[in-house]
A = this chain, B = another copy of it.
Amino acid sequence: MSATELPAMQRVSVLTSDLRLTVEERPVPVPEAGDVVVQVRSVGVCGSDIHYFEHGRIADFVVEAPLVLGHEASGEVVAVGAGVHGLRVGDRVAMEPGVPCGSCDQCRHGRYNLCPDVRFFATPPIDGAFAEYVALPAAVAHKVPDELSFDAAALLEPLSVGVWACEKGGVRLGSRVLITGAGPVGVMAALVARANGATQITLSDVNPDRLARAEELGFATIDSRSASVADLVEADVLLECSGAPSAIDAGIRAVAPAGTVVLVGMSPSGTVELPVGVIQGREIWLTGTFRYAHTYPAAIALAASGAVDLDGLVSKTFTLDEVEQALTYSRQDPAAMKIMVHPS
């Protein structure tokens, strides 16, 4: 093991099982073989963090013991376990938050995001990254070039969601893409679609501030409060990023024959009434995304190329003591894009 001089204890933001946020002292981890310890520099707030804070659960994942939230994270390597190659103390890394088992049928087929035994940051009972230090396997600590800020490196995680959505949707040169939902995920998906060569990209939303920001970024927009997307565009690919049943239905009706629908946003109820007659009559392909796989190299290259300005998506930054403010900030600014926590 090689390491800088590390303190024994660190500060960690913890969500208790009665859904209060407190800062605790915990030991700084020591790296096991194959692992690195990272000093966390930036963590993005995701809707799932807010949902755990407000509801204590997502589907079957329940906060039953104190949980550290935060899974969009970057930092600096401060200790390296035995057998680690390719990473050294001082390297700046983006942390891919899921560690798959590597030996199940899904892993063996290359679909590690579907691994039933994945250990994923901030998904009970696995702790996340609202902490000064975390340990993780070197294989999921992706070195990033100097031109990426720590905020940008953290935001490679939601960017990966967009990369995966575009890959599932087969977005390519000349694609006409409709994105329903202009929040952070929708905007990330739009930026990736543009980098994939899509030549018609339209975002729809009900929030005028979000639509205004999408327009600033150069995208066409539809205010879905006053217009139906299917009346205004025909798309080869729908990237559904809202989870709203009405947006899903309207979006599917805008898809051309042989087109593709990717459900990225999650619908609270788990079931949605879909226009299956349209899907059949046009032989549309529909799928959904669950996290992402193999996306970090492309996401890093994309951000490093300057094609996607991740820093420009940061709306507000908080400290580790202010995690509660970070998790509730979107109530006062519903059009906010990314809220960051800087733990160190």
Contact = CB atoms under 8 A, between A and B. Distances in A.
Interface of A: 59, 102-103, 106-114, 139, 163, 166-168, 172-174, 192, 195-197, 199-200, 248-249, 257-258, 263, 266-267, 270-290, 294, 297-298, 301-302, 305
Contacts of A280: 263, 266, 288-290
A276 B242 CA distance: 13
Contact of A111 (B103, B192, B283): B283
A173 B283 contact: no
B274 A59 contact: no
A34 B274 CA distance: 41
From A102, A166, A249, A283, name the one whose CB has the most chain B CB atoms within 10 angstroms.
Answer: A283
Given A111-B257, A197-B302, A103 B102 contact: yes
12 contacts: A103-B139, A108-B112, A109-B110, A111-B257, A173-B196, A174-B302, A197-B302, A248-B276, A270-B278, A271-B273, A285-B286, A286-B287
A173 B108 contact: no
B298 A174 contact: yes
Q: How many copies does the complex hold?
A: 4
A106 B257 CA distance: 8
Contacts of A102: 102-103
Nearest to A164: B283
Nearest to A240: B276
Nearest to A296: B174
Interface majority SS on A: helix, strand, loop or mixed?
A: mixed
From A110, A111, A173, A275, name the one whose CB has the most chain B CB atoms within 10 angstroms.
Answer: A173
A69 to B, nearest CB: 21
A84 B272 CA distance: 41
Nearest to A166: B173
A277 B290 CA distance: 10
A284 B282 contact: no
Contacts of A298: 173-174, 197, 199
Contacts of A275: 270-271
Given A109-B294, A199-B302, A283 B287 contact: yes
Given A273-B273, A279-B286, A172 B174 contact: no
A108 B108 CA distance: 7
Contact of A290 (B195, B199, B281, B302): B281
Given A111-B258, A289-B280, A173 B192 contact: yes
A273 B281 CA distance: 17
A16 B212 CA distance: 57
Contacts of A108: 107, 110, 112, 294
Given A109-B294, A270-B275, A279-B287, 12 more contacts: A108-B110, A109-B258, A110-B110, A110-B111, A114-B257, A199-B302, A271-B274, A272-B273, A273-B274, A285-B286, A285-B287, A286-B286
